[in-house]
Chains A and B, each alone.
Chain A
Amino acid sequence: MGVKSVRLEIIYIIVGMAIVTFLTRFGSLILLRYTGIPSSFTRWLKYMPIGILASLIIPSLLVQGGHLAVSVSNPYLIAGMVTAVTVFKSGNAILSMTLGMTVMVILRQVN
């Protein structure tokens, strides 16, 4: 290694990570630019946000430390249910998030 203050192997790793991450974000556009977007694909994509959001949310509420945690002692599950019920009943996103966060912080203090 020539320059002691700059560790090239770390820089290479970071640049490699940056390139592949950009490719995952831009890759679909590269592909679909040439193929066009078929209508059956559009119908499928319509439900993609629900699929992705559900897949992100559910494990973060129900899985704690690598285990399924369906119990009243799981603060994420309780606070999540408060948030979901509030936004369902009121349609108010900010209110539901504030209530959910409040419940979460209180449960964290209690435990």
Chain B
Amino acid sequence: MNNKYFWLGVKESFPIMVGVVPFGITCGVMAVAVGLKPYEALLMSLLVFAGASQFVAISMLGAGVAGWGIITLATLLVNLRHLLMGAFLAPYLLRLPLAQQMMLSFGLVDETYALTVNQINKEGYSAEYQLGSSIALYTSWALSTLVGTLAGSYIDNPLNWGIDFAMPATFLALLIPQLKDRVSLLVFLVAAVIVIPSSLYIPGKWYIIIAALSASLIGGLLDGGEKCEA
């Protein structure tokens, strides 16, 4: 294993961990507030490792929706966007042994995806880098959930601190340098135009799938068109 890239992945995940920790703490606090036991909340973070869907499931449990089917379905819908990230990484991941494919897929969260893509653009794909980033985020997610369940009612809502901005800040720092040609800029604008109304009116996280799919499709078509002209 290439340790250099593993630790680079860990290191570059640190700024984004600042943003993940308050969400993890909130997740733990909320879970206990709706009546989950600390070990149940921790088990959820360890096995599911998908913040948004955990918040949805916890709110549903809190609202008295305890049905296995409906909560599992809601989780599936919230997490469908991972299919797109998996498809993007597929050309790189499919070259790895099956066990590594499964392990890296298990840890594929928005943040690791963004960092791995950034690394692909800089130096090429590195499985070690992706693993380092996954482990760093997985550990901080699980530990911060645990802290939240234990701290429970003692702490104020950590999302009020404004630290949750660390996540969009990191994504912006990764995205802006990618907008260096006309098609990329257009993809960004199309995504913006679609995502604003759809995030307001479409329930769940469907808006991410709709906007990302259509914007990148338009990018792919324009890219092909420009090559034909040249």
Contact = CB atoms under 8 A, between A and B. Distances in A.
Interface of A: 7, 9-29, 32-33, 37, 40-63, 66-68, 75-76, 79-80, 83-84, 87-88, 91, 93-94, 96-97, 100-101, 104-105, 107-108
B215 A50 contact: yes
Chain A interface SS verdict (over half): helix
A30 to B, nearest CB: 9
A75 B159 CA distance: 14
A63 B200 contact: yes
A23 B213 CA distance: 19
Contacts of A67: 200
B150 interface: no
28 contacts: A10-B61, A12-B68, A21-B82, A22-B106, A24-B80, A26-B102, A28-B87, A29-B105, A42-B91, A43-B223, A46-B223, A47-B216, A48-B88, A51-B212, A52-B85, A53-B114, A54-B187, A55-B212, A55-B215, A56-B171, A57-B168, A62-B196, A63-B199, A80-B165, A80-B172, A87-B173, A97-B170, A108-B162
Given A52-B212, A68-B200, A101-B169, A22 B75 contact: no
**Contact count band on B:** 35 or more
A18 B187 contact: no
Nearest to B16: A97
B211 A21 contact: no
A64 to B, nearest CB: 11
A10 B88 contact: no
Contacts of B131: none
Contact of B36 (A10, A12, A76): A10
Contacts of B179: 50
Contact of B75 (A21, A45, A60, A61): A21
Contacts of A23: 76
A25 B108 contact: yes
A51 B187 contact: yes
A62 to B, nearest CB: 6
Interface stretch (B1-9, B48-56, B140-148): B48-56
B220 A44 contact: yes
Given A48-B88, A50-B187, A68-B200, A88 B165 contact: no
B94 interface: yes
